[in-house]
Structure 1
Amino acid sequence: MKKRGKIIYWVATIWLSLGMVSTGIVQLLQMEDEVQKMNTLGYPSYFLTIIGVWKILGVIAVLVPKFQLAKEWAYAGFFFIMSGAIFTHLAVGDKAVEYFGPALLLVLTIVSWYFRPEDRKLINS
């Protein structure tokens, strides 16, 4: 992989990891705003714990060397969680500002996955 690709990968992966860990912690703490948002979106508050745990475990899987299959699952989970968040906000008619966070994390997920080094891929080309 060229130097440019490695830089893109690490920048995207670090920002993705920071975003997932920070939102995961907020969800695990079940802060009042998050609980209220989940209720507005139609989800039970315990869903925050499930999502928070999986986000943090996903970040660990993406950052730790080896375990390529776990990385693929983590990227898939991030994709499903963020695309689901976007569609949920669409379904309840939220303002455009509500889409920014999930959309940014979705883009970072795709960029990080696409530019990951060969040794972090399940099947090397």
Structure 2
Amino acid sequence: MNKRNKIIYWIATIWLALGMTSTAIVQLVKMKEEVQKTSLDLGYPVYFLTIIGIWKLLGVVVILLPKFLLLKEWAYAGFFFLMSGAIISHLCVEDSMADLFGPSLLLILTILSWYFRPANRKLVGSNYKTVRANRS
């Protein structure tokens, strides 16, 4: 991995971790504005905030740790689905473009972090075979 890709990876990953952590905290403490937006504006139940807040924090831990390659893939996929779902939800209720900024930025950071991750953080053919062999 060249130096440029490593820099892109760490910048994207650190900002992704900060963004996911800060939004998870807001969701877990159920800030008034977040409850308003999620339940009244978007129509999701309030308990949804707890579920996605916990999953975001777990995903951040997995993405930052050097091991757990299969869980890392799941975390990136979860972040992708969560942020694309947030974008679609805001579009469906015709929210302003400002409401799309946060989820769009986190979606871009998710893609950049996933794409530029180093080889030792990727689940590739040989790693997958190793994981399967260890399970047997």
Common fold by TM > 0.5: yes
1:114 aligns with 2:115: yes
Report the AA paired with residue 76 of structure 1: A
**1:30 matched residue in structure 2:** 30
**1:93 matched residue in structure 2:** 94
Once the two structures are superposed, what CA deviation does each residue of 1:6-62 show, in whole Å capped at 9, x if it has no partner? Answer: 000000000000000000010000111000001110100000000000000000000
Identical-pair percentage: 69
Take 2:4 and 2:125, find their aligned partners in 1: how far apart are those partners?
Answer: 19
Conserved in 2, the CA contact under 8 Å of 1:118 and 1:124?
no
TM, length-normalised to structure 1: 0.98
Partner of 2:83, secondary structure, is helix
Take 2:92 and 2:60, find their aligned partners in 1: how far apart are those partners?
Answer: 28
Partner of 2:44, secondary structure, is coil
Query: Moved runs in structure 1, 4+ residues, more than 2 A?
Result: none
- After superposition, the Cα gap between the structure-2 partners of 1:124 and 1:7, relative to the gap in structure 1 and judged at 3 Å, is farther
Partner of 2:86, secondary structure, is helix
Take 2:70 and 2:118, find their aligned partners in 1: how far apart are those partners?
Answer: 14
Partner of 2:117, secondary structure, is coil
Kindly report the root-mean-square deviation, in angstroms, between the aligned alpha carbons of the 2 structures: 1.0
Q: Which runs of 5 or more residues in structure 1 are unaligned?
A: none
- After superposition, the Cα gap between the structure-2 partners of 1:93 and 1:104, relative to the gap in structure 1 and judged at 3 Å, is same
Once the two structures are superposed, what CA deviation does each residue of 1:40-95 show, in whole Å capped at 9, x if it has no partner? Answer: 10100000000000000000000001100010000000000000000000000000
**1:72 matched residue in structure 2:** 73
1:42 aligns with 2:43: yes
Q: Which runs of 5 or more residues in structure 2 are unaligned?
A: 127-136
**2:57 matched residue in structure 1:** 56
Q: Shift of residue 124 of structure 1? A: 6.2
Aligned residues: 125
Take 1:98 and 1:76, find their aligned partners in 2: how far apart are those partners?
Answer: 22
- After superposition, the Cα gap between the structure-2 partners of 1:57 and 1:43, relative to the gap in structure 1 and judged at 3 Å, is same
Take 2:3 and 2:71, find their aligned partners in 1: how far apart are those partners?
Answer: 25
